[in-house]
Structure 1
């Protein structure tokens, strides 16, 4: 092809990548690119998190010798109207509650000279200790695993309370179900006892205490690892496969290796 006296060879490199099926389906031109690197995540998130356009402008006052510079940001008319009507800017669904995992008297505390005695006498409650108390007083809670409690109970004021909104649970009057998620904090396998406690919390329903959690067939085991072994949770590699699968959600391949 000759353009303005210059000969230019046109080949496929001049054609923008596209998908005929997508163009025909949406009746629009759609670029198609293959993202083969994790750097694509940075490229995508850059536009989502860069924020609104900003500008620095000055306000000159004839009666003031000092110029006051103000930092402001420019928003479009549609965003301005959206904010004037106080429409929600973001939403998160479903609710996610972080659930503690620790050994007995192993919860995190913040000490000061004024509260040492009170904390020793009355250790602060966590979601785990509150779950034990709930299982002691609520028969329905005894049928649940630790991470399932968020479906039927809300966490407020350091205790679990039955949900007042949601779908009715068949056969259990007064129980409501919501798609809220419970996520138990991860524990490194090097912290063996706490790690196996977390394993038991995912398999034992309705424990009423730390001792009850490691009780198998009426026998209290000395360690949580022994309890896991007694109920055949350590007989195969399923546990380690589950750990890798869970870690793959938040870690890159280099970290996993």
Structure 2
């Protein structure tokens, strides 16, 4: 049903292309002056950025994240929050004989409430300190479970000697906190893979794509280009081990090499897989901002003659994968992206390089008198307003 809904929305956009037709002003002006033919000017089939999930939309959100970085510096925390289908709120609503995979409407609603609680927990309760700004995007795994990638900027930056107070990569002591121990062993142990399980989904060409198992280090080390090397103590240095059950029913003993970085506070509060990473270097900022807003995975190719009119709607639909949970999420109109504070887009372009929207009836008028953008309007204001001119100098 949601595939039908999305198809209808895309069909409306396709049938209203004259309202969306666009081209850079300099190209439009040259086309009209040279041959006077405006029939084939512009992208005849475009998918606007107002359509959530489109490439233009995701590109704008990635640029918004970069705008946060430009103003506030690197983010402090990169959090991945994954739905737990064993939450009591989900199990209590299932009918007899049902499991979570049968009721994606329940998992979508519960995860939405949990995600809102996580945001309030971090932003309003300030468990990590006062929050300057934040943003997140919701994605879906192939099996249907939703997860959210979240970036947090704090007023007071987390220093290198405070990382161990926020993030842990060690198995908790069962005798000290059995509840946290059980949550971490169930949700935050990677694999195991490699020699322990060569058929693990994370394996590619005989190696783990997630780079596990990790090195044992007695103290957290920062300074590299990505995430820091978190403290993972060996059993001889006081580190703990845990017994986990593999899918084939056998058991295996794992140590701190297999623990995914987590926040003890968040894990115990929400009882889910919550990967918390410390953004250590500015060199990884662009990757993180694009990763949070990367959109769905796809790989499509075809052989055809070169065409001038690129159909963005066909390109978007090619390889489009809609899971059941995403369909429910979209039908219920839950947001896929949220951020605070809002980012206002300003047009920055070269002279006559602004984007112009036109139809066949008003193309001549657009060539003679293009509409002002925020940038050209600001320049015009500076010519006539002394206060604006003085402000522009600063």
TM-score with structure 2 setting the length: 0.20
TM-score with structure 1 setting the length: 0.27
Question: Which of the pair has more CA radius of gyration?
Answer: 1
Q: For CA contacts below 8 A with separation 6 or more, give which structure has more relative contact order.
A: 2
